[in-house]
Amino acid sequence: MIEQLKGMLDQVREKQPLIMNITNQVVIQQTANGLLALGASPVMSSHPEDARELAQVAGGVLLNIGTLQEAQLETLLEAGKSANKAGIPVVLDPVGAGATSYRTNAVNKILSEVKISVLRGNGGEIAAVTNQHWGMKGVDSVGQGDVVQLAKNAAKQLDMIVVVTGEKDVISSPSRTLITENGTEMLTRITGAGCVLGSVITAFLAANRESDPIEVCTAAASFYSVAAEKAMERKPKGPGDFEFYFRDALYELSEAEWIKQGIVTEGGTV
Ligand code: ATP
Ligand code: TZP
Ligand code: MG
Ligand code: MG
């Protein structure tokens, strides 16, 4: 089915969409560099008024609660509502949901006040948002379960696209599920692999407004995982080399190479 995703990467590189990120203090630089390597245009914001204005001119908004502070919650909500008014996609990364009730409650507040287009998290985070307990060790998922069923149930319950990442990524809407099978375990050895993917999904959505959003999210996840495989082909000595090679791959991996290597399957109806 991956042939159907052809063209979506080129759209990002051609349109260079402005992506507004309200993200955590750990991954600000990785996120800006990842988006620039991909061909998008990043801007970070941390003040409610600034975020409200930026959301009116951006192509998409990424909300990430990784190092949430009380004042930042207002910024996230303002940005989300402003993006809703502008009619642009909003992606939410519920970093560490389930690890503390503070995080879980913050995610629930955002979900109740902002129309989220895509929720992207690891298994433990998505389980927590849907009132299940898979287990979290800080920001990492430690529980195990049926990720395909988790994504399907979450998409239905929340009525939005849900991307559950891990060894495979499961992308589910309330009516359809797609699975990407590429990637490398080395992605778990660098911080921000999930967070940067959230911004990459936002960039794909911003540049492909006429396409089916579940296919656009799948293109983003598939391209990202194949780029990680390309980085591994250069035989990094460890996570340090890998991080640089991965950024290079986000920059140089062509649409044709990605489509040739990407494995995407239908996950059945919900
Ligand atoms: P965590 O905090 O639990 O590490 P995360 O928010 O960083 O989660 P991941 O689930 O690690 O997000 O996903 C980030 C990227 O890494 C995705 O592209 C995913 O496909 C990839 N990935 C994660 N684990 C593996 C793995 N074991 N094998 C292949 N790819 C993986
Ligand atoms: N602590 C708070 S946010 C963050 C850490 C380590 C980064 C998490 O990044 P990711 O992409 O979820 O691994
Ligand atoms: Mg990670
Ligand atoms: Mg994460």
Strands 136-137 and 140-141: antiparallel
The pLDDT score that the predictor gives to residue 270 is 65
Q: Is the beta carbon of 262 within 6 A of some atom in ligand 2?
A: no
Q: Report the pocket of ligand 1 as residue ranges, CB < 6 Å.
A: 122, 139-141, 165-167, 169, 183-185, 187-188, 193-194, 197, 224-225
pLDDT category of residue 144 using cuts at 50, 70 and 90: confident
Q: How far is the CA of 164 from the centre of ligand 1 (A)?
A: 9
Concatenated DSSP letters of 101-166:
HHHHHHHHHHHHHS--SEEEEEHHHHHHHTT----EETTEE-----HHHHHHHHHHHHTSEEEEES
The pLDDT score that the predictor gives to residue 166 is 96
The pLDDT score that the predictor gives to residue 143 is 82
Task: Quick: pLDDT tens for 165-217.
Answer: 999 999 999 999 999 999 999 999 999 999 999 999 999 999 999 999 999 99
217 within 8 A of 201, measured Cβ to Cβ: yes
Identify the structural domains of the chain with CATH numbers, from first to last: 2-266 (3.40.1190.20)
pLDDT category of residue 70 using cuts at 50, 70 and 90: confident
Residue 192 annotated as lining a ligand binding site: yes
Q: How far apart are CA 20 and CA 60, in angstroms?
A: 6
Query: Residue 270: which H helix or E strand, with range?
Result: none
